[in-house]
Amino acid sequence: MPRGLVDFLQVLAGHPTLKGVEPGEMARAVYMHDKYVLPDDIMQILGRGPDATLKASRPEDVSQAVRVASGEVSAAALGLPARQFHYLRTTLGMERGREFSVDWQRNVDPYDDELLPMQGGFLMDVSALSTIEVREDLGVVRAGVGALWKDVQAAATAKGFDLDLFPIVPMDFAIGDLVGGAAPFGSRSGRLEAAVRNIEVVLPDGRMASLGYDGVPPNASGYDLVALYLRGGQHLALPHTFALTLAPAGKIRRVLAYTYPDASAMVGVLTKLAKARLALARVLIHDQVAWAMSHRGEALGVVLEVAFRAPEAVAPALEKALDGLAAGHTGKAEALSPLDAPSEFRRASQNLRTAGILGEVLCTPATVAEVFEKLLELGPAMGIFGAVQGAGISLVPFSRRPLSRRERFDLVVKIKEEIVGLARLAGPQLLLLLDGGEAIRQGFNLVRRIKDKVDLPSTINPSRALLVPQVAPPPSQPRG
Amino acid sequence: MVTKATLDYAYRRLLNICDERRVTRDPLEALVYENSFAQLPKQAGAPGPLSFRLRPDIVCLPRTPEEVSRVVLLGIELSIPVVPRGAASSTHGGGVCNVGGILMDLRVLNRVHPPDPDALTMTVEGGVNWKEASDYAAYKGLFLPVYPYFAGSATVGGALANGDVGIGALKYGPLAGRVRRLEVVLPTGELIWIGAEEISLGHRNYNVTTLLSGSEGTLGVITRATLEVLPMYEVLKPLAYAFGEPAAGAGALRALGNSGLTPYHVEFVDDIHLAIQRALLYQVAEAGGMVSVVLEGGKDAVAAETKTVDDLMASQGGVKQPDPVALEQWNERFIRYRGRRLSGGMVVNEVMVPLAKFPEALAGARRKAAGLKMDVAARAYLADRSSVVYTPYWLTDDRSLKSQVSLAFIKAFHDVVIELGGHPNGLGFLMAFNLDRMHGDEADTMRDIKGALDPQDMLNRGKLVSMRGRTPPLAPEEFFGEMPPALPIYMLKLAGGVKRMMRRDRYTPKPGRRKAAKGEEGE
C-alpha cells in the first residue's frame, strides 16, 4: 500500500502493465479512475478511503489522534465508546502495529482534484474547532481551523476591524482552507503570511506547538515557520488555530464598482493600480457571470470592485485619485459587496455551491486581458473572479454548472495549454502536476526533505504530498 | 578537528576555485574578519575553553554563484565549516566565524542587472549594498520601496538572510515579501532558484523563498535575488513632531498605528538619541522624543494625509518641526552609526514588540539601563500597524572593560521584551541562547529543518539553532563543541553585577530639557 502520493506515483511508474503509457494519459486515467487503463490493483488503491472519521471538539483531540496513528499511545486514549473502540481494534487492526495516517477535512474543497484518496487512517472533522476571539490590543483575531471566514470577518467588523485576508470567490471557506493554497484566499498586498501572525499546530509526533507570535511578526527570530507551514502546504503539521491580522475599519468605508466593456479596457487601470500607492483594502475583478452570481443585479461588462477605508480627511483625496486611475469606465456605482454583508455572502455562497472552480491563474496586468479572454473562451458557462494582489493578478475561472471529473480534467489541461507564456497556474494538485515548473520542483524538494526529517513515516496528510514530475537530481555527494 | 594538512589542501583547492588574489590565509588579513558590527567581548576570541575561534582559517572572495557553490562543496568534502559573510553589519555575530573554517566574503558578488521597467523587477547579486541598489534603481527612474534599516552598510543577501523588516515595510510589507525569486546555494552545494521571476507566486506552488528569510545563512547562501520595484513616487514628504516626554512620543506611535493611515515610514527617537544627534548635527530639536512620519505617493493624497497626520500628532501633544529638521531626520536613515564619533564604540541591539506594549518596553529598557548605570538611546519604527522594531543602542569605548560588561543590558532587556510578547531580532552565535526561550519546543523543529537541509552542519555551524565555540585540543567536537545556553546567560548576569559596581557612563551628552522644542507655531 503506498504511504502517500509520492509512493503512489512511483508505483504507477514502475507498474508492468502501465509501461509505455504517456504521462498525460496516466494523469487523466488516475484523475478519472479509468478502469480501462488502470489495472485492478491500482483501481483498488483509488477506491480506498479513510478508515474512520473522527470529530475533533478541541485541539487536543487532533493531537490524540496523531499520537494514536503514530503508535505512540494506544487507541484507548481516543476515549471512544466501547463499540467504536472495538471497531478500531478489530476491523482496523490497530493493535498489530499497522501504520496509520491522519488527514483533516476541509469545509470546502473547491478544486475537487484529489489524485490519491486517503489510504486508510483517520480523517479529522475539524468543523467544531471554530472558536473566534478578537484581540483588539494585539490587532489580531484568533480563529479555529474550522471557523468560517465570514463568521471571523463578522466578529472583526463588530469590533471595528476588517480582516486583511479575503476569499477571492465568495464561498464558505473555513480559515483552515487557506493552508497551502488549498482555497483561493487573497490579500491586497499579495502576501498571505503578512495576514497570518500565528498558527497553532499539531506536529507529526502529536505535540502541540505555536508557530510565530500573536503580537509581532516572526522576522529575524529564527526560521519563519508560519510562512513555511502556509507555503509548504499541510505536509508538516495539522493546524488547529490561526491568529489573523486586523486592519482598523476606518471612519469612511467605501466599496465602488467601476464597469468596463471588456477586460482589455481594464488593462490600463489594472496596470496603474498595481503600481499605485493607494491604500486600498481590496480590488476584486468580476466578469458578468461572476458578478451575477455574487451580487444583486446584472453587470454590463467586466466590473472592478474597489474597497477602501480611510480617515475622513483622506477619503475624498483617495476617491479622487482612484477615479483618476479608473478612467475609461462606462459606469461607476456604490456596491454592496458580499464580503461586507453576511446575508449577501450567504446568498452568493449558495449560488456558487455547485460551481466548478478550476484553479487560480496568476498573471500580470500586461497579460490579464489576453488570459481573461482565453479563459472565457473555454466554454459558455465560464465565469471569472479575480483580485489584484500586490503587483500581480489572480484570476479564478469557474464553470457555473457542476463539472464531471472528465470535463474538469479537460478544462484544466486546456487552461494549461492556453496560458503558456502568459500566466502561471496555482492552487490545485492537478494543475501543479500538469504544470510542474522548475521553481516549483525546487521548492517542493526542499519541503519534501523537511517532511522526511520531521515526519518520516508520513503520519500527516500523506496523500497530499505531491510529487512533481522530473524531480531535481539528488544532492551532490562529496568527492573522495 | 580540522588538521593543518587539511587546511593546506583546502587552501590549494580554493586557489583553483577563486584566483589567488581572492584567497588568503594571512593572519593579519584574517584578523579583519574577526570583527563585525556586533560588539564582541575581547575575551570571547581568546584561546581557552568556552570561547570562540573567531579568526577564519581561510578567507575567500567568490565572485560568481558557481564559485560559492564550489566552495561549499569543498567544505563538505573536507568537513570544514563554511561561513558566508556580507557586510557584517548584523548586531549578533552573524558574519564572523565561531569555530574557524572557511569564510566567504560575498561583497565581490556585486553585479546589478538592469531593472525591468515593465515587469517592475530588479535582479541583484547577494553582495550588492542596499543603498547602491536603491540608488541604481532611482537612477533608472524606479523606486526600491523597502530596504533594511541599516541600508547604508548591509548587503542584499545579508539583510534578506537576517529577516530584516526594513524602511517602507509599514506601507509595502517586509523585505522578504518584496522578493520574487532567489538564487541560493544550499548547504549541499546545489545551486537552485526558488520562486518565479515573471510573477509573484506568493504562498502558492511551494514558493519557499521565505524559508531563507531569518535563516542567517544556516540554510543557504543567497547569491542572487529578484526584487520588486515601483515607478518613482510623485512626492515623498518627511514630517517630524517633537514631544515633551519619550512616553508621549511612544503613545503617538500607537495613535498612528490605529489611525487607518498608511504612511511610508514612522520612526520614533528618544531624548538620549536626540542629545547624541545634537552633539553632531545642527538642526536637532531639544525634546523628550521625536516622531518622524514619512508620506509618499500622489500629490493630493500626500497633502490630505499631511493634514490628518498634523491633526493626529497635535492631539497627542506633538509639536510640528520645521521642514529642514524633518528632512535631516529622514536623511539620517543611511547613517546609523554617527554617534560612534563621540566614544569610539557603539552597541546596537534590535527587538520587535507589539505596538500596544511599546511604551512598557521603552520604560522597561530605561529602568534596566538606569540599574546598570547606562544611558541607552532608543530608536524605533513601525514594522506594521501593530508592531514596532525597537533598536536601543549605547555608546562605549570598545577597549574598556566597562564596554564589555555593559552587554549585560542585552540580557536584561531581552527578558523584558520576551515578557511583553515580543522577541529579540537576530540570533547569530552571540544570541543563540535565546532560541529556546523564544520558541520553546518549536526550536527543535528548527533544528530538524537545519538537519534536513544541512545534514553535515556545513553552513554557519553552531549558529542560530545551536551555540558552538572552541573545542579543547584533542577533545571530540560532538561532546565539547556545543555551548550550553545557560553559560552565556550566567556570564551576562555576572557582567551585570560588575557593571552595577562601576561608575556611570559619561559618553552620552547630557539630555536637554524634557519639553517640546519650539516649532513652527512658536511652541
Pick from B296, B442, B452: CB nearest A277: B296
Find the range with the poorest average confidence among A52-56, B132-136, B468-472.
B468-472
Query: Confidence class of residue B346 from pLDDT cuts 50, 70 and 90?
Result: confident
User: Which pLDDT belongs to residue A467?
Assistant: 43
Cβ–Cβ gap A424/B201 under 8 Å: yes
User: Which pLDDT belongs to residue B478?
Assistant: 61
Q: Which residue of B has its CA nearest to A200?
A: B442
Burial of A96 (0-12, 13-18, 19+ CB in 10 A): exposed
Quote the CA–CA distance of B302 and B236 in Å, as a whole number. 8
User: Which pLDDT belongs to residue A435?
Assistant: 55
Nearest to B176 by CA among B226, B129, B137, B117: B226
Nearest to A357 by CA among A173, A169, A190: A169
CB atoms within 10 A of CB B501: 8
**pLDDT: is B81 or A447 the higher one?**
B81
User: Which pLDDT belongs to residue A233?
Assistant: 65
Give the A:B interface size as CB pairs under 8 Å.
298
User: Which pLDDT belongs to residue B313?
Assistant: 96
What 3-state DSSP class applies to B267?
A: strand
User: Which pLDDT belongs to residue A284?
Assistant: 95
> Is B314 an interface residue toward A (CB < 8 Å)?
no
Cβ–Cβ gap A439/B205 under 8 Å: yes
A-chain CB neighbours of B262 within 8 Å are 279
Which residues in B40-55 are b (16+ Cβ under 10 Å) and which e?
A: bbeebbeeeeebbbbb
What 3-state DSSP class applies to A288?
A: helix
Eight-class DSSP state of B44: G
> Is B269 an interface residue toward A (CB < 8 Å)?
no
Nearest to B491 by CA among B37, B38, B40, B34: B40
Query: Confidence class of residue B49 from pLDDT cuts 50, 70 and 90?
Result: low
Q: What is the secondary structure of A116-165 as a DSSP string?
A: S---SSEEEE-TT---EEEETTTTEEEEETT-BHHHHHHHHHHTTEEES-
B-chain CB neighbours of A431 within 8 Å are none
> Is B73 an interface residue toward A (CB < 8 Å)?
yes
* Cell numbers placing A263: 477586460
User: Which pLDDT belongs to residue A430?
Assistant: 67
A-chain CB neighbours of B16 within 8 Å are none
Which parts of chain A register pLDDT below 50? 96-97, 466-480
Query: Confidence class of residue B431 from pLDDT cuts 50, 70 and 90?
Result: confident
B-chain CB neighbours of A317 within 8 Å are 300-301, 303-305
How many CA atoms lie less than 13 Å away from B291 in the CB half-sphere? 31
Q: Which residue of B has its CA nearest to A475?
A: B188
**Do B106 and B127 form a contact (C-beta atoms < 8 A)?**
yes
Which residues in B428-437 are b (16+ Cβ under 10 Å) and which e?
A: bbbbbbbbee
Residue of A134, A219, A318 best to disrupt the B interface, most CBs of B under 10 A: A219
Query: Angle A405-418/A368-376 helices, nearest 10 degrees?
Result: 150
Looking at mean pLDDT, say which of A432-436, B109-113, B281-285 comes out highest.
B109-113
B-chain CB neighbours of A139 within 8 Å are 257, 355-356, 385-386
CA distance A454 to chain B (A): 6
Mean pLDDT, residues B388-399: 90
Cβ–Cβ gap B425/A443 under 8 Å: no
Nearest to A362 by CA among B213, B205, B404, B177: B205
* Cell numbers placing B519: 516649532
A-chain CB neighbours of B350 within 8 Å are 220
Residue B514 has pLDDT above 80, yes or no: no
Mean pLDDT, chain B, as a whole number?
A: 88
What ipTM, to 2 d.p.? 0.90
Per-residue pLDDT tens over the stretch B297-345: 888 889 989 999 999 999 999 999 999 999 999 998 888 788 888 888 8
Per-residue pLDDT tens over the stretch B477-508: 666 667 788 888 888 889 899 988 888 877 77
Supply φ then ψ for residue A414, to 5 degrees: -60, -45
Per-residue pLDDT tens over the stretch A294-330: 998 888 899 999 999 888 888 888 898 899 888 889 9
Mean pLDDT, residues B160-174: 92
CA distance A393 to chain B (A): 9
Residue B38 has pLDDT above 90, yes or no: no
Cβ–Cβ gap B304/A139 under 8 Å: no
Query: Angle B358-371/B246-257 helices, nearest 10 degrees?
Result: 160
User: Which pLDDT belongs to residue A468?
Assistant: 37
Quote the CA–CA distance of B63 and B376 in Å, as a whole number. 40
Cβ–Cβ gap B73/A311 under 8 Å: no
Cβ–Cβ gap B208/A426 under 8 Å: no
Nearest to A386 by CA among A269, A471, A479: A269
CA distance A16 to chain B (A): 32
* Cell numbers placing B312: 493626529
Cβ–Cβ gap B446/A277 under 8 Å: no
User: Which pLDDT belongs to residue A464?
Assistant: 57
> Is B304 an interface residue toward A (CB < 8 Å)?
yes
Q: Which residue of A has its CA nearest to B257?
A: A248
The pTM of the whole model exceeds 0.80 = yes
What does each C-alpha distance from A242 to A186, A187, B21 come to in angstroms?
A: 16, 16, 53
What 3-state DSSP class applies to A9?
A: helix
Report the helix count and the strand count for chain A, using DSSP H and E.
16, 20
A-chain CB neighbours of B208 within 8 Å are 228, 231-232, 443, 446-447
Cβ–Cβ gap A472/B190 under 8 Å: yes
User: Which pLDDT belongs to residue B521?
Assistant: 39
What percent of chain B is modeled with pLDDT above 70? 94
CA distance A10 to chain B (A): 21
CA distance B152 to chain A (A): 19
Residue B520 has pLDDT above 50, yes or no: no
* Cell numbers placing B344: 569610539
Pick from B163, B308, B385: CB nearest A313: B308
Per-residue pLDDT tens over the stretch A400-448: 888 888 888 888 888 888 888 888 887 666 665 665 567 677 887 888 8
Residue written as cell 520587535?
A: B352
User: Which pLDDT belongs to residue A431?
Assistant: 60
Q: Which residue of A has its CA nearest to B90?
A: A220
B-chain CB neighbours of A392 within 8 Å are 199-200, 202
Residue of B143, B167, B171, B205 best to disrupt the A interface, most CBs of A under 10 A: B205
Find the range with the poorest average confidence among B36-50, B64-78, B446-460.
B36-50
